[in-house]
Amino acid sequence: MSRGGRDDGDDPDRAALRRALAGVKPLAGRDARVPPRRAKPAPHAPASGAGAHTEPGAGEPFVIVSSGERLEGFAAGIDRAWLRRLRSGDVAVEERLDLHGLTARTARAAVTRALLAAHEAGRRCVLVVHGRGARSAEGPVLKAFLLRWLTEARVAPLVMAFSSARPEHGGAGATYVLLRRRRAEPAR
């Protein structure tokens, strides 16, 4: 029986660990057990096959369509023609944000700042370069997070549509974000 009252049975790893720790004494006043590590939540990633689903946004849901590496979506109530124009490159890129080398936390802040500033300046189309995840064991992490960030409360009201970029702008490693027009302040 092991110290925890469990029988190691045929588990050679437990037996080896018990032998290796035979002379180790726990620190005084400390619990000898180590709490399990909490796993980080995985970013929402769309299914690899073609499909559509709805993501909850700030109030209006988004219709998300994924097909292989391509990802696109539009806010409920938006004419799909905007998505077609965005996908085909008919909307001029007015701002560019490169997320290479950023952590998810700093990338989220950068995306939020850039989209708020672009909207305030009256820009309509922002190209967000997130990479394809070629050097990451987890794949395109920032791309998966970007989908979440675009549909969250702070940014979602500004977003009309988004689509994976055309090859000349980075292909599946970048995303066009089409912002709503800035409404004029009412005269006082």
Q: How far is CA 103 from the centre of its chain?
A: 11
Residues of the chain with pLDDT under 70: 1-10, 26-60, 134-139, 184-188
- At 31-44, the pLDDT tens digits run 555 555 554 444 44
Read off the tokens for 102: 């950023």
109 occurs within a structural domain: yes
Residue 13, domain member (yes or no) = no
| pLDDT given at position 95 | 95
In the chain, how many domains are there?
1
**What is the model's pLDDT at position 42?**
42
Supply the CATH number for residue 57's domain: 3.30.1370.110
pLDDT computed for residue 19 by the predictor: 80
Residue 131 lies in a domain: yes
Q: Let me know if 46 is exposed, middle or buried by CB neighbors in 10 A (0-12, 13-18, 19+).
A: buried
Residue 10 has what pLDDT? 66
Task: Specify the pLDDT at position 51.
Answer: 46
Q: Which of 162, 151, 149 is nearest to 72 (CA)?
A: 162
CA 70 to CA 66: how far, in whole Å?
A: 6
